[in-house]
Amino acid sequence: MKRLFLFMLLATVLIACNKTAKKNADSDNPFMKPFATKYDVPPFDQIKIGDYMPAFEEGIKQHTAEIDSVANDAAAPTFANVIEKLEFSGELLKRVSSVFFNLNSANTSPEMDKIASDITPKLTAHNDNLYLNDKIFQKVKKLYEERATLGLNAEQSRLLEKYYKNFIRSGAALNEQQKAELREINKELSSAELLFTQNVLAETNAYQKFVTNKEDLKGLPQSVIDAAADEAKAAKKEGQWLFTVQKSSFIPVLQYSENRELRKELLMAYTTRCNHDNKNDNKQVINTIMKLRVKKAHLLGFESPASFILDNTMAKTPENVMSFLDKVWKPALAKAKVEAAELQKLMDAEGKGEKLEPWDWWFYAEKLRKQKYDLDEEQVRPYFKMENVRKGVFGTATKLWGLQFQKLDSMPVYHPDVEVFKVTDKDGSLIGILYTDYYPRASKNSGAWMNNIVDQYIKNGKEQRPVIVNVGNFTKPTSDKPSLLTMDDVSTMFHEFGHALHGLLTKCTYPSLSGTSVKRDFVELPSQIMENWAFEPEVLKTYAFHYKTGEVMPKELMDKINNSSKFNQGFTMTELLSASLLDMNYHMLKDTTAIDVNAFEKKTMEKIGMIPQIIVRYRSPYFKHIFEGGYSAGYYSYTWAEVLDADAFQAFKETGDIFNPKVAEAFRRNVLEKGDSEDPMTLYKRFRGKDPNPEALLIRRGLK
Ligand SMILES: [Zn+2]
């Protein structure tokens, strides 16, 4: 959930800039030709930092020529000479963009960041050159108006509609002066959003807390102490312990450290990132971003960024989102208040006279969990060795759909932590290639995500199967211990793998419609549904083996996990939904008056009745989901999709078999294979036979 799903609409983010690209004769630039590798994976071993910029420039040049030829084609517009031409244009640019932006998130460097800053405004301008090209827009418009008479199949109609809407939403129907204004806004916006992310990464990496006194580590599990010692050693301070604001480092401190000051210090360091008056401060950047987004919405005829953004989702309007959130927020907050009182009681019993604060919540929740369910995260971690969990994840897909996973050892990778798997169907045919890249490093953004490296599509009758990556930031193996995941990490791995399946199993013709290129509030269904299998005893017994003894997790421990699954859900949902509400409050702004970010946030929290013992999951200055772009007025999507996933999993449970082959098949055919080739609600109802019902979610979360 805190998992960021990186979503690059490359096919539509395409884009033109006649900047003279150096005539690139260098035949050794691997981007210049289709990758001549097995399974069409990028030749990571041959790509050099100097290859990107020439490939971007040449890619933009070639794509511009293709766009011009569509615009200047004297023939009457047809689906083939306009839409299909555009859809399959810009191959070089797609090749370099997808590799570059994947690595810019997963394995960046100062040089890569510099290229990103240089190329991003050019790509935005290129995108504008396509979507603000009036000759092309007139052709698309004509086709759209005549769509009923063109003899198109369902997928083609959907593609035509998508192009038409993209043009309208990009400002194609504006006059010349407005178009120029929009271009300027887009350019400034993409730079500001990029700066926001770079500030968050810089500030996250900059923070180091060295503990020098062993006394201060009281309460921490040995594995956490060892990892912190390793970190300190790597930072050339042997004999000390290093904690950072990476979640894998500070969350265990919040859960277990008896040192209240240390807990407070780390939580405050995490929650005040980019909120200090220094060069990484994002408060002013937020103002810039919001002002530009409001201006853009107005220009395109919408009253707020939220109305503009939501017009292109399943939810459709801000009112629908707010009324949806309200339905879940009230029971969540009520539950959180009950939980807070329980924790306070625990503190009172200690007789220190302390009042529950945000840095106490995790610690006492952990104690309460132990008291109520006798479940301690450290008890279960030895059963969650990374490799074993991954086997469980793959095995679930084998059991549901017959998919096979074969590790490939001699494939080119961009970092030694990356592993490559060939995925095949039950009949042996190729589904696609999956990369996993699970450990944190300074060159990687925080969080977890899935991304396409190569899209699936069919061109001239030949099918391209996809190449997909799953990235995470799980605890690294230490010198004497393998990577042992937390329960949250386990869910995350299942979650990202769900996105991967959506990308892998897709069967579409057009890349703009294939895989995860769906409406944003539908995209989390395939990921979140996979989390349902993670801790089912039937699944646990296939992968939860003790890393030392090889023994399967005892039944009592499995039961404890499942009994405690509703534990602390008031807190979790309150943290999550308050972030959704903060997001909506920003994006429902109707004017460009300057905002005092901290005051705005405080006012929003007061308005929704937030309790002081919980801090919103993301405070504004590091709320990347919404200020980087991808999930603006969209953080609600996680909960929206959760209604769908709980209801969809219910379809399995109703049969008494969580691996029911008929239900699995229906989910694959109607959801996982379909991409955006049809309306998502239509697809969902075809799978389920009825509308989604929120009941299953409230029950699962223990809110009802
Ligand atoms: Zn996701």
State the DSSP string of 59-109: HHHHHHHHHHHHHT--SPP-IIIIIIHHHT--HHHHHHHHHHHHHHHHS--
Q: Which helix (H) or strand (E) holds 180?
A: helix 176-206
350 a catalytic residue: no
Residue-wise pLDDT for 196-210, tens only, equals: 999 999 999 999 999
For residue 516, how far is its CA from the centre of ligand 1 (angstroms)? 10
Q: How far is the C-alpha of 620 from the C-alpha of 633, rounded, in Å?
A: 13
**pLDDT value, residue 26:** 58
End-to-end CA separation in angstroms for the chain: 21
Structure-token pair, residue 139: 């052709």
**pLDDT value, residue 212:** 97
Confidence of residue 10 (pLDDT cuts 50, 70, 90): very low
Mean pLDDT confidence for 468-473: 97
For residue 453, how far is its CA from the centre of ligand 1 (angstroms)? 17
**pLDDT value, residue 252:** 95
For residue 497, how far is its CA from the centre of ligand 1 (angstroms)? 9
For residue 274, how far is its CA from the centre of ligand 1 (angstroms)? 25
**pLDDT value, residue 695:** 83
**pLDDT value, residue 9:** 32
For residue 499, how far is its CA from the centre of ligand 1 (angstroms)? 7
Residue carrying the six token digits 């996979």: 530
From 496, 531, 601, 642, active-site residue: 496
Q: Give the chain's mean pLDDT.
A: 93
Structure-token pair, residue 183: 């271009």
Mean pLDDT confidence for 285-301: 97
Q: How far is the C-alpha of 152 from the C-alpha of 371, rounded, in Å?
A: 62
**pLDDT value, residue 662:** 98
Residue 157, pLDDT > 50, answer yes
**pLDDT value, residue 129:** 86
Residue 46, pLDDT > 70, answer yes
Find, among 254, 103, 284, 143, the residue nearest to 615 by Cα.
Answer: 254
What SS3 state is found at 545?
Answer: strand
For residue 457, how far is its CA from the centre of ligand 1 (angstroms)? 23
For residue 317, how far is its CA from the centre of ligand 1 (angstroms)? 22
For residue 543, how far is its CA from the centre of ligand 1 (angstroms)? 23
Residue 2, pLDDT > 60, answer no
Residue 668, pLDDT > 50, answer yes
Mean pLDDT confidence for 474-501: 95
Residue 22, pLDDT > 70, answer no
Burial 30-67 (b: 16+ CB within 10 A, else e): bbbeebeeebbbbebeebeeebbbbbbbbbbbbbbebb
For residue 611, how far is its CA from the centre of ligand 1 (angstroms)? 27
**pLDDT value, residue 461:** 95
For residue 5, how far is its CA from the centre of ligand 1 (angstroms)? 5
Residue-wise pLDDT for 116-138, tens only, equals: 999 998 998 899 889 989 999 99
**pLDDT value, residue 375:** 83
For residue 495, how far is its CA from the centre of ligand 1 (angstroms)? 6
For residue 434, how far is its CA from the centre of ligand 1 (angstroms)? 16
Exposed, middle or buried by CB within 10 Å (0-12, 13-18, 19+), for 139? buried
Write out the E strands in 295-365: none
For residue 446, how far is its CA from the centre of ligand 1 (angstroms)? 14
Residue 14, pLDDT > 50, answer no
Residue 474, pLDDT > 50, answer yes
Residue-wise pLDDT for 170-187, tens only, equals: 999 999 999 999 989 999
**pLDDT value, residue 11:** 33
Radius of gyration of the chain (CA): 25
In SS3 terms, 123-171 reads as HHHHHHHHHCCHHHHHHHHHHHHCHHHCCCCHHHHHHHHHHHHHHHHCC
**pLDDT value, residue 496:** 97
Residue-wise pLDDT for 606-627, tens only, equals: 999 999 999 999 999 999 999 9
Structure-token pair, residue 528: 């979140």
Q: How far is the C-alpha of 38 from the C-alpha of 282, rounded, in Å?
A: 43
